[in-house]
Structure 1
Amino acid sequence: MDCLFCKIVNKEIPAQIVYEDDRVIAFEDISPQAPVHVLVIPRRHLATTLELKEEDESLTGHLIVVGNKIAADRGVAEKGFRMVMNCNREAGQTVFHVHLHVLGGRFMSWPPG
């Protein structure tokens, strides 16, 4: 498999890791869209959210809990932040490994895209 995020999980390529545990790893986005832009990914390869099944409910919840922790650690939780998961190309997914964007530190407009 030639997945960029799997290579980060396996420490084959460097990343600025800000959190990791046995289920997920979080790192700074290399092309940040906000002052805080961290990606939270499962260690297990899942190409899109469409591959998530009922047995993955605790994993998806854990992604959000870790996102909340990162927002608090980065000082954006109280002012506001955004968590985004894109699914497939038309939604803006460019790396096909499930990932949660945690964005904050600036005003977020609506609609987003």
Structure 2
Amino acid sequence: MTEDFYCDEVLNGKTEVQKVMETDNVLAYYHTRPFYPVHIVAIPKRHISSLLTLQDSDNELFLELMGVIKQVAARVTEEYGACRVNTNLGNYQDSKHLHYHICYGEPLR
């Protein structure tokens, strides 16, 4: 896997994704290798390596990202009755690009 799958593959169009929601600065799409029956990823379109590297100058983008996550999570919860929203840090973060998972169901693996 590349260091930043989202910049290198998704945002460059090398890997096609099924979009769930998109704004000028944020993309939410179905995970390309889902771990859950419903597995959506939300990313900023500008590179930010992690939640821990956010700067004050990123506040507006982060609020927009959270707004998209809130809308997608509301849709999943409305349809399925529940969802999880999480992000990974450090060694748990495979791709070094801030991203959140919006998921429903038990792990597939």
TM-score tier (shorter): 0.7 to 0.9
Q: Distance in 1 between matches of 2:96 and 2:35?
A: 19
Question: Is this contact kept in 2: 1:38–1:103, CA < 8 A?
Answer: yes
Any runs of at least 4 consecutive aligned residues in structure 1 with deviations exceeding 4 A, and if so which? none
Shift of 1:83: 1.0
Q: Does 1:9 align with 2:11?
A: yes
The residue number in structure 2 matching 1:111 is: none
Q: Distance in 1 between matches of 2:106 and 2:5?
A: 30
Consecutive unaligned residues in structure 1, runs of 5 or more = 109-113
The residue number in structure 1 matching 2:31 is: 29
The residue number in structure 2 matching 1:100 is: 100
Q: Which has more helix, going by share of residues?
A: 2
- SS, match of residue 12 in structure 1: coil
Q: Distance in 2 between matches of 1:3 and 1:95?
A: 5
Shift of 1:62: 1.9
The residue number in structure 2 matching 1:18 is: 20
Normalised by the length of structure 2, the TM-score is 0.79
Q: CA RMSD in A?
A: 2.3
Q: Distance in 1 between matches of 2:98 and 2:90?
A: 10
Q: Distance in 2 between matches of 1:28 and 1:55?
A: 28
Shift of 1:88: 1.4
Q: Distance in 2 between matches of 1:96 and 1:28?
A: 19
Shift of 1:77: 4.2
What amino acid is the match of 1:4?
F
Q: Distance in 2 between matches of 1:2 and 1:37?
A: 21
- SS, match of residue 98 in structure 2: coil
Deviations 1:4-54 (A, max 9, x none): 211311223211222111111111112323222100000001122222111
- SS, match of residue 13 in structure 1: coil
Consecutive unaligned residues in structure 2, runs of 5 or more = none
| Higher RCO (CA-CA < 8 Å; seq separation 6+) | 2
Count the aligned residue pairs.
Answer: 104
